[in-house]
Amino acid sequence: MSCAAGTIAAAGACLGYAVRGRSSTFLAPSMYRGDPSRSELAITFDDGPSESTPALLRILEEHRVRATFFMCGANVRRLPGVAREVLAAGHEIGNHSDTHARFDFKSPDFIYRELALAQDAIHAATGLQPGLFRAPYGVRWFGLRHAQRRLGLTGVMWTVIGRDWSLPGGRVAQRLIGGAANGGVLCLHDGRTIHAAPDIRNTIDAVRAALPRLLDKGFEFRTAGDLFYAPQAYAAQS
C-alpha cells in the first residue's frame, strides 16, 4: 500500500494502516506469511497460557501438530506450569505483551516495559527468551520498533484470524479452512486477554474440526519461526 497521498483523510487512513495493517512494517518490523510455494501453515494461539491450554495441547498432540503460543506475562505468572507444559510438548513460545494493553497513544517507555516484563515472565517460567512478538489487537505504535530491537523480537501478524473470541467453533473452523493458503499464519486464542479461567470452548471446537481437514488438504504445520526461516518467507512491506 502506498502512503504518498497528500490529503488529511489519506494520512489518517495511512496511519490506521500503519497501526493495524497486517502487512505494515512502518511502526515495527513484522512477518505475516511464509513461503507461498510451500503447502505449509503456522497455527498460532494468543492470550495464554490459560487453564484450558492443556486441553488444546492434547488435540495438537493427537494430530502431531506443533504450534506457536504468544503468551501474556500476566498469564505466565498465574500459570507458569502450563507455560512449561507448552514448551515441553515441543511448541514455540512468543511474547504477547505483559497485560494485553493496546499500544496506540502509549509512550515508548510503556511499550518497552510491556514487552520486557513479558519477556522476563516467560524466561522465569521456562528458561526461554522468545524471539517472536505479536502485538495485542495487532496494534503497533511509535516506540515498538525500538522496543523490539532492544529485546531481539520480530513481530508476527497473520493471514487468517479465527475470531474465536466471538464466533461459534464451527464458524471459526470454516474461516480457517476457507482462508488457509500456502505459507499462511492462522491466529486463534487459548486465553481471553488476561482473564483467569476463560471459556475457550469455541477455540477448542474449531481446532478439533479444522486440523484434520487442513491436514487432509495436504498442509503441513510449522511453528511460526520455522515458517519464516523457509527460503522464500518474507517480511511484510510497508
Binding site for Zn ion (CB under 5 A): 46-47, 136
CA distance linking residue 182 with residue 113, whole number of Å? 35
Q: What's the maximum distance between 2 C-alpha atoms anywhere in the chain?
A: 54
Closest approach, Cβ 227 to Zn ion, in A, equals 19
Closest approach, Cβ 192 to Zn ion, in A, equals 9
CA distance linking residue 183 with residue 153, whole number of Å? 20
Q: Which is nearer to Zn ion, 46 or 114 (CB)?
A: 46
Closest approach, Cβ 47 to Zn ion, in A, equals 4
Instruction: Look up residue 64 and give its DSSP letter.
Output: T
CB nearest Zn ion: which residue?
Answer: 46
Collapsing DSSP to helix, strand or coil, 17 comes out as helix
* C-alpha cell read off for 137: 489487537
CA distance linking residue 156 with residue 170, whole number of Å? 26
CA distance linking residue 186 with residue 160, whole number of Å? 5
For residue 48, the surrounding DSSP H or E stretch is: strand 40-48
Q: Which is nearer to Zn ion, 14 or 111 (CB)?
A: 111
Closest approach, Cβ 237 to Zn ion, in A, equals 24
Q: Which is nearer to Zn ion, 40 or 47 (CB)?
A: 47
* C-alpha cell read off for 49: 497460557
Q: Which is nearer to Zn ion, 162 or 184 (CB)?
A: 162
Q: Which residues are catalytic?
A: 46, 189
